[in-house]
A and B are shown apart, each in its own frame.
Chain A
Amino acid sequence: MLTMTGTTQTYTADSTRWLRQLALSVRGRLAAAVALGELAGILLVLQTGLLARVADEVIFRRSAVSALLSLFAGALGAVILRAAAAAAARRTASACASKVKAHVRAECIAHVARIGPLALSGMRAGEIAHVSVDAVEALDAYFSRYLPQRSIASLLPFTILAVVFPLDWISGLVLVLTAVFLPVSMIVIGDQAHERNQRLWGRLALMSGRFLDVLQGLSTVRMFDAVRRETAEIERASREHRTLTMSVLRLAFLSSFMLELISAVSIAIVAVISGFRLLHGTMAFNPAYFILLVAPEYFLTLRMLGTLHHSRMEAISAAEQIQEFLGRPVLEESAARVNAPCVMRPPVITFHGVSFSYGAAPVLSGVTLEIDSCERVALIGASGAGKSTLLALLNRFARPQQGTIEIDGVPLAALDLAGWRRVVAWLPQRPTMFHGSVRDNVTLGRRDASKDEIRRAMSLARAEGIPLDTPVGESGLGLSTGEAQRVALARLFLRTPLLVLLDEPTAHLDAENAALVSEGIQELSSGRTTLLVTHRAESAAGMDRIVEIKDGKAGPVR
């Protein structure tokens, strides 16, 4: 638990700094929002002044309404302007938040590609989506409400004091003196509450996380016949959560209690002191009434800030999540190089003692293998033997930790990356189908493909029977596995590959679909250097050579 709190604190410092930088990027608009909010406050003071004036005229001078019409008209103007300024302030502040969110979302989305496929496979896609959409949303209130309100809270009270003091310095002094207690008491209480909060934070998070945890592990809970026990556990955890939270809140609410108390007491003092002076004739009614009316507003901005405090906390914890994601290491990628060699013909591929491991678990340990131009090689081996890893290395999703891969005698890493991608066609084990239509999925790698090209690719992939307008749902809903496989194959025919990488293309298919896909594969691989990964020797029929990957090494089939 100690370490947990420690990391939280360092993240929090980072997160606040990051949030501040984001705020700087929209400082112009933020300033405009603050100015509009301040303007609304000034108009409120003006309106209050007019009200006090009217009351004074009516009560003490018995003026008729008809004599006060100009004051009423002025008040109406102030009300309209104030409403307009408040609306504009809200809109401007929200535009700041929108801009920041769009920027952060773009960053998150771009980072998905930067992380690279291998590291992504260890992360949950839903969690990434949660960060880029929901965590970013949690920044909204911070930029649209909290930040503008904080600036207004430090401007408007001074504006009010600047008006009050010339009218009546005694009341002004009351307002200043009571307000001085505010920061002091809030700091004392705030510190204690904060410390308590920090101490309990980990436990509170764990307890409220328990519910989601149990939801995710529901099958396990049922499997172990532990439903009743977990229900009791949720009850117990929520009860403990409540007790602990309340112990924090009792303290945390003290600061808002102090705010309320000081605000109410301050109004009471102003009222009573003014009352006595009015009785003795040492003060005029107009300023007394005005100050009484404006005093609540003096404290209101500060109280509002208190209610927005949680949006700051939420933004900080969201910022932690976002930063954690954006801090994920980036797949090192060779920068685009001028004059880097490109592959112009079906390549010769040479593996020289290639080793690769995921963390501590070695997968390939010294693979040496040569594949001729236009040769078609089947790689067989048990699942987990490292066949797919070999393809990942050729795809440049990772680099071998030892050894080199050479393409026509040139190290793979030295080739132009974009040029290399253009000549490699890769059919993964379970191709991803993207939400959209079949056409969208076929033209994924070539948005500019013509109708004829698409038709040709579909027929080469034995997929001409699938209507191009068929809608494809999330994770390929709407297409059978065999259809999806053929659509994925058609994707590759739209490109101009010289090297074909196939990963268990028929493993999950029924006989009929397997035959269709095999035909398409024959078509795609002819005249191209081809690697076919399979765990079954019979699927390797029709290949020029079979190589077995075993114990991290490549060898002929015995």
Chain B
Amino acid sequence: MKSARRLVSLLLPSWRMALLGIFLSLFALAANMALLALSSWFITSMALAGAAGAFMDYTTPAAAIRALALARAGGRYAERLVNHDTTLRVLSTIRVWFFRRIEPLAPARLQGLRSGDLLGRIRTDVDTLDDFYIRGVVPSIVAVLALGLIMPFLARFDLRIAVIDAAALACGGALLPLFLRRLSNAPGSDRVALSSDLRASVVEHAQGMAELIALEAVQVREQDMGLTVRELGIRERRLATLQGAGDAGLIAASSLAVWAAVLVLAPRAASGSMPGAEMAMLAVFVLATFEAVMPLPPVIQRAGELAAAARRLFELIDTPATVKDPESPSPAFGSEPVEPLGLVIRDLRFRYASDSPWVIDRLSLDVPAGGRVGISGPSGVGKSTLVNLLLRFWDYEQGTITVAGAGKEVELRSLRGEDARRLFAVVPQSPFFFHASVRENLSMALPEGREGDAEAMRSALETAQLAPFVAALPEGVETTVGEKGHELSAGEARRLAVARTLLKEAPIYILDEPTEGLDEKTADSLMAALNARLRGKTLIVISHRDRDLSFAEKVVRLDG
């Protein structure tokens, strides 16, 4: 219920369009019912008049029929446009809302949860929410409002057929689908579970393929997955049978309603207490009312899925961030960066969970303001973790990190995360690039208001030894780098990451393996250019290549 209210709140910004869309849907629906009913009444009246040799004024109904035909088509067109426009507005609200709330959770809260799967799940869930408006909200409201129009109309002619129609609409459009949904709960959730099983198995299969081949276990696992696929098929067929029952139910409900109406009205028409034309009209009208509930069974079927998707997303964004900003953040180094800055790390200990081993165990490290420090050591000893702690993506358990400069000393934890991150410009171990142009990827690092600074970009590319490469690209800086930068080689990606980091003005620069994938010569010129450009800044270089660290005043070796 609570998530329903939160969902509805996402519709509020677009309520005017939503109202218009619902009105138009209702209008198009009513026009169709009126068209069919009036046509039936018209031909029956004409036939009766013809048989009696009586005169009939046909101009008004004939004109009304033509008008209704146009109203129907025009109403549908307008309704679809307005409702799709609203959907896209809602979609935009959902995305911005979700992004704002998930942002503080990255990366700490988004990692542990089966890394590969989480993003996929978010993707599917957001997609599910995307069409909850047009496929869920609109048809439900329209159906209810339509009933409010249909029932008084039918009751004017005969209360019994109003009751019959209401019962049939309720049975075929809501009660039977609700009952079938209960039956399909078990196979439905089985299907979801089997699918995610299969997804996880395929992930493992791909990740462990080398070992599976070496252990000759490929076939056995393929057979296991084949069984899962078969189980999945069994559930699918069961669900299809239930869906078929729903189709059959709606067919039966609509047809039986018509025949029941005829059965009730026939004696009246035969005895003359109801004009024959009215009976012919009402039979068709009852049939036409079913257009109002036609979209409901899928809505009911998917309501559970939607609720689950919404619940998952709400749960995710409701998880508290791992790192909380201090109650009264230190104002030091707040807005204007102080330079140069140094770091003093004492007895730092960190682990990802209270039951996992220490990733950083009693680390002490001095980085003098404006100094150059190298860090070396094998992979997996917590170098990137240290970077994550400095950026306040995680909180350390024991020890201290002090930022010192301009006569001030501040414990990192007393800074707001945003302020702490402003102190560092980092090339992370695996830099991420957006599926956008070189320029767009660079400009995100520039301070607000200077996004278009082409000169700054050019000089950063120059220092990163990437200027000739970018110049040779078909569209220069406007060339896209591919999804996650996949169109760049490892060395190009590294250097682009370096260039991007240089564009961020910060007192402390941390470069994790800046020369990976580069040949000796380029690596040397890159390091020399960096060293020259970052004069006066504090520079920490993490590398396994000794020559990268040759200019460092101090090299610290991290080792388990």
- Is A54 a contact partner of B211 (Cβ separation < 8 A)? no
- Is B36 a contact partner of A267 (Cβ separation < 8 A)? yes
Cα A102 to Cα B433 with chains together (Å):
36
Query: Which one of B85-93, B363-371, B401-409, B526-534 contacts A?
Result: B85-93
Q: Which residues of chain A are within 8 angstroms of B217 by Cβ–Cβ distance?
A: 444-445
Which residue of chain A has its CB nearest to the CB of B100?
Answer: A231
- Is A289 a contact partner of B244 (Cβ separation < 8 A)? no
Question: How close is B282's CB to chain A, nearest CB, in angstroms?
Answer: 11
- Is A125 a contact partner of B116 (Cβ separation < 8 A)? yes
In chain A, positions 491-516 with a C-beta closer than 8 Å to chain B are: 491, 495, 507-508, 510
In chain A, positions 113-172 with a C-beta closer than 8 Å to chain B are: 113, 115-117, 120, 123-126, 128-130, 132-134, 137, 144
Cα A42 to Cα B391 with chains together (Å):
70
With A133-B195, A260-B73 as known contacts, state yes or no: A219 contacts B203, CB within 8 Å: no
Total contacts A-B at CB 8 Å: 419
Pick the contact of A51 from B203, B258, B434 — CB < 8 Å? B258
1/0 contact string of A394-424 vs chain B (CB within 8 Å) = 0101000000000000000000001001101
- Is B199 a contact partner of A535 (Cβ separation < 8 A)? no
A217 proximal to B (CB < 8 A): yes
Q: Which residues of chain A are within 8 angstroms of B89 by Cβ–Cβ distance?
A: 242
With A225-B421, A272-B65 as known contacts, state yes or no: A60 contacts B276, CB within 8 Å: yes
A276 proximal to B (CB < 8 A): yes
- Is A424 a contact partner of B214 (Cβ separation < 8 A)? yes
- Is B448 a contact partner of A229 (Cβ separation < 8 A)? yes
Which residue of chain B has its CB nearest to the CB of A509?
Answer: B560
Cα A229 to Cα B452 with chains together (Å):
13
**What's the dominant secondary structure at chain A's contact region?**
helix
A435 proximal to B (CB < 8 A): yes
- Is A209 a contact partner of B435 (Cβ separation < 8 A)? yes
Q: Which residues of chain B are within 8 angstroms of A426 by Cβ–Cβ distance?
A: 210-211, 214
Which residue of chain B has its CB nearest to the CB of A40?
Answer: B251
- Is B226 a contact partner of A106 (Cβ separation < 8 A)? yes
Q: Which residues of chain A are within 8 angstroms of B517 by Cβ–Cβ distance?
A: 361
- Is A268 a contact partner of B39 (Cβ separation < 8 A)? yes
Q: Which residues of chain B are within 8 angstroms of A116 by Cβ–Cβ distance?
A: 209, 213
With A120-B206, A250-B81 as known contacts, state yes or no: A275 contacts B116, CB within 8 Å: no
Q: Which residues of chain B are within 8 angstroms of A293 by Cβ–Cβ distance?
A: 40, 284, 287
With A117-B213, A231-B96 as known contacts, state yes or no: A256 contacts B80, CB within 8 Å: yes
Interface centre among B36, B49, B201, B210 (most CB of A within 10 A): B210
Cα A374 to Cα B419 with chains together (Å):
60
Cα A264 to Cα B126 with chains together (Å):
37
- Is B244 a contact partner of A130 (Cβ separation < 8 A)? no
In chain A, positions 209-236 with a C-beta closer than 8 Å to chain B are: 209-231, 234-235
Query: Which one of A14-22, A277-285, A337-345 contacts B?
Result: A277-285
Q: Which residues of chain B are within 8 angstroms of A231 by Cβ–Cβ distance?
A: 96, 99-100
Q: Which residues of chain B are within 8 angstroms of A91 by Cβ–Cβ distance?
A: 237, 240-241, 244
- Is B280 a contact partner of A289 (Cβ separation < 8 A)? yes
B556 proximal to A (CB < 8 A): no
Pick the contact of B116 from A59, A129, A222, A253 — CB < 8 Å? A129
Which residue of chain B has its CB nearest to the CB of A432?
Answer: B208
Cα A535 to Cα B559 with chains together (Å):
13
Query: Which one of A75-83, A180-188, A363-371, A522-530 contacts B?
Result: A75-83
- Is B88 a contact partner of A246 (Cβ separation < 8 A)? yes
Q: Which residues of chain B are within 8 angstroms of A507 by Cβ–Cβ distance?
A: 378, 380
Interface centre among B36, B73, B258, B426 (most CB of A within 10 A): B73
Pick the contact of B206 from A95, A123, A281, A296 — CB < 8 Å? A123
- Is B266 a contact partner of A229 (Cβ separation < 8 A)? no
Q: Which residues of chain B are within 8 angstroms of A395 by Cβ–Cβ distance?
A: 210, 213-214
- Is A126 a contact partner of B203 (Cβ separation < 8 A)? yes
- Is B435 a contact partner of A278 (Cβ separation < 8 A)? no
In chain A, positions 60-113 with a C-beta closer than 8 Å to chain B are: 60, 62-65, 68, 72, 75-76, 79-80, 82-84, 86-91, 93-95, 97-99, 101-102, 105-106, 108-110, 112-113
In chain B, positions 81-133 with a C-beta closer than 8 Å to chain A are: 81, 84-85, 88-89, 91-92, 95-96, 99-100, 102-103, 106-107, 110, 114-117, 119-120, 122-124, 126
Pick the contact of B46 from A99, A246, A275 — CB < 8 Å? A275
Query: Which one of B143-151, B163-171, B228-236, B460-468 contacts A?
Result: B228-236
Interface centre among A80, A124, A272 (most CB of B within 10 A): A272
Which residue of chain A has its CB nearest to the CB of B105?
Answer: A218
Q: Which residues of chain B are within 8 angstroms of A354 by Cβ–Cβ distance?
A: none
- Is B205 a contact partner of A58 (Cβ separation < 8 A)? no
Q: Which residues of chain A are within 8 angstroms of B445 by Cβ–Cβ distance?
A: 224, 226
In chain A, positions 174-196 with a C-beta closer than 8 Å to chain B are: none
In chain B, positions 171-227 with a C-beta closer than 8 Å to chain A are: 195, 198-218, 220-222, 225-226
B255 proximal to A (CB < 8 A): yes
In chain A, positions 239-271 with a C-beta closer than 8 Å to chain B are: 239, 241-242, 245-246, 249-250, 253-254, 256-257, 260-261, 264-265, 267-268, 270-271
Q: Which residues of chain B are within 8 angstroms of A112 by Cβ–Cβ distance?
A: 202, 205-206, 209
Interface centre among B100, B205, B226 (most CB of A within 10 A): B205
- Is A267 a contact partner of B73 (Cβ separation < 8 A)? no
B152 proximal to A (CB < 8 A): no
B56 proximal to A (CB < 8 A): yes
- Is A55 a contact partner of B259 (Cβ separation < 8 A)? no
Cα A521 to Cα B448 with chains together (Å):
57
1/0 contact string of A426-446 vs chain B (CB within 8 Å) = 101001101100000000110
With A82-B255, A225-B418 as known contacts, state yes or no: A268 contacts B208, CB within 8 Å: no
- Is A130 a contact partner of B120 (Cβ separation < 8 A)? yes
B30 proximal to A (CB < 8 A): no
- Is A230 a contact partner of B99 (Cβ separation < 8 A)? yes
With A224-B445, A224-B504, A249-B84 as known contacts, state yes or no: A216 contacts B226, CB within 8 Å: no
- Is B444 a contact partner of A134 (Cβ separation < 8 A)? no
Cα A242 to Cα B81 with chains together (Å):
11
Cα A86 to Cα B245 with chains together (Å):
9
Q: Which residues of chain A are within 8 angstroms of B236 by Cβ–Cβ distance?
A: 94, 97-98, 101
- Is B39 a contact partner of A271 (Cβ separation < 8 A)? yes
Cα A64 to Cα B240 with chains together (Å):
43
Question: How close is A72's CB to chain B, nearest CB, in angstroms?
Answer: 7
Q: Which residues of chain B are within 8 angstroms of A68 by Cβ–Cβ distance?
A: 266
- Is B432 a contact partner of A260 (Cβ separation < 8 A)? no
- Is A434 a contact partner of B69 (Cβ separation < 8 A)? no
Which residue of chain B has its CB nearest to the CB of A383?
Answer: B544
Interface centre among A51, A89, A97 (most CB of B within 10 A): A51
8 A-B residue pairs with Cβ-Cβ distance under 8 Å, sorted by A, are A79-B251, A113-B218, A129-B200, A215-B122, A218-B110, A289-B43, A383-B379, A445-B216
With contacts A129-B198, A271-B43 known, what are 11 further pairs, Cβ within 8 A? A101-B236, A125-B203, A129-B200, A206-B435, A210-B434, A218-B106, A221-B444, A231-B99, A264-B70, A275-B58, A292-B284
Q: A residues near B, CB below 8 A?
A: 40, 47, 51, 54-55, 58-60, 62-65, 68, 72, 75-76, 79-80, 82-84, 86-91, 93-95, 97-99, 101-102, 105-106, 108-110, 112-113, 115-117, 120, 123-126, 128-130, 132-134, 137, 144, 206, 209-231, 234-235, 238-239, 241-242, 245-246, 249-250, 253-254, 256-257, 260-261, 264-265, 267-268, 270-272, 274-276, 278-281, 285, 288-289, 292-293, 296, 361, 382-384, 392, 395, 397, 418, 421-422, 424, 426, 428, 431-432, 434-435, 444-445, 447, 474-475, 480-481, 491, 495, 507-508, 510, 535
Q: B residues near A, CB below 8 A?
A: 32, 35-36, 39-40, 42-44, 46-51, 56, 58, 62, 65-66, 68-70, 72-74, 76-77, 80-81, 84-85, 88-89, 91-92, 95-96, 99-100, 102-103, 106-107, 110, 114-117, 119-120, 122-124, 126, 195, 198-218, 220-222, 225-226, 229-230, 232-233, 236-237, 239-241, 243-245, 247-249, 251-252, 255-256, 258-259, 262-263, 266-267, 269-272, 276-277, 279-280, 283-284, 287, 357, 378-380, 391, 393, 418, 421-422, 424, 426, 428, 431-436, 444-445, 448, 451, 483-484, 500, 504, 517, 544, 560
